[in-house]
Amino acid sequence: MRITNSLDTPVGPVDVISIAKDQFVEKDFTTLSPADPAITGFVTDTEGNAVSGVTVKLLSRQGKLLATTATNLGGYYVFRFSQPGQYTVKITVPPAYTAAVSSKTLKVKQFETARVNFNLATEP
């Protein structure tokens, strides 16, 4: 057998290749915690422009506040958490804007990244 590096230069004959014994352990993935579900989204105005600095809250099924974040310069937010379940995403509508919808309740499944977008209108 001829073994070479990426430049096709021989790296010498290899007579013995040893493999570490018992390096890998079988794992039953059904007993692990759920994969990391997430809720992401954008807050935009009626023209599709990002609205930054909007407070976004994540609430449990019982209405308990779990996390708070703010949209970035692109109007984007994300919540990552460890349990699937039912959650409510709620925004605080900034001054000079109105929103037909300021909260949404959804069920997030294992391995899922759910998207919740909000659209704001400028007050007349």
Residue 7 reports pLDDT greater than 60: yes
Q: Give φ, ψ of 101 to 5 degrees.
A: -130, 125
Give Cα separations from 91 to 48, 67, 86, 118 (angstroms): 17, 12, 17, 8
Between these two residues, 36 and 80, which has the higher pLDDT value? 80
Query: Per the confidence metrics, is the pTM higher than 0.85?
Result: no
Q: Write the pLDDT tens digit of every residue in 61-112.
A: 999 999 999 999 999 999 988 788 999 999 999 999 999 999 999 999 888 8
With 70 as the cut, is the pLDDT of residue 34 above it?
A: no
Residue type, 120: L
How far CA 19 is from CA of 10, 16, 24, 51, 95, in Å, comes to 22, 10, 11, 56, 65
Decide if 37 contacts 116 (C-beta within 8 A): no
Q: Which domains does the chain have, with CATH numbers?
A: 35-122 (2.60.40.10)
Q: 2 or 10: which carries more pLDDT confidence?
A: 10
